[in-house]
Amino acid sequence: MALKATVFKAELQVSDLDRGYYETHALTLARHPSETDERMMVRMLAFALHANPALAFAGDVAADDEPGLWQRDLTGSIDHWIEVGLPDARTLRRAAGRSRAVTVHAYGRGADLWWSGARAELESIDALAVWRIAPPTSQGLAALAQRTMRLQCLVQDGDITFSDENTSVTVERSPLKASTATPR
């Protein structure tokens, strides 16, 4: 018998002073049985950092042909492909061919090793931006995971705070590669 996804509901209030974006999103996330709370919450952070009315969680986190999140235009074309974790370089090359911009939020103890191995192959992709999420951040976000969540994300002068009613996580992230492309 196959295990079913666990459904999480979140009310996410995004106050991004740097982009001038202020919105509350009612989100439903299906956490695949193979997905950890840490990965799911890094997906939630990625949603908050790129929040846009057209941004959505992709269907299957285990599928190679779909990202963690994507932003599509009115024709269905992909404007922004957002990956979470340590994706394969081939997947990112395909993503760059299918979308205007690609962003990776790499996290976990293996992020530095992944980047040192993939850097040479990925540096030439102009549309690709890569961010490294520090382990204390991804672990702190995992601690916020509940089946029903009320979360806030504040972005101001490049500083990011992600919190619920009781706990606040200061997001530590660093750029590994900048992109020349921007989603619409």
Residue 2's pLDDT is: 61
Q: How confident is the model at residue 180 (pLDDT cuts 50, 70, 90)?
A: confident
Q: What is the pLDDT of residues 61-79, one digit of tens each?
A: 555 568 999 999 999 899 9
Q: Higher confidence at residue 181 or residue 84? A: 84
| Encoded amino acid at 152, one letter | Q
Where are the domains positioned within the chain? 6-177
Rounded CA-CA distance 65/49 in Å is 22
Q: Tell me the average pLDDT of the chain.
A: 92
CATH class for the region spanning 6-177: alpha beta
**Cα separation values, 65 from 53, 60, 73, Å:** 22, 9, 18
Q: Residue for token digits 């492309």?
A: 181
Residue 19's pLDDT is: 96
User: Residue 1 pLDDT more than 80?
Assistant: no
Q: How confident is the model at residue 124 (pLDDT cuts 50, 70, 90)?
A: very high
| Residue range 116-123: mean pLDDT, rounded | 95
pTM for the full model?
0.93
Residue 64's pLDDT is: 58
Residue 70's pLDDT is: 93
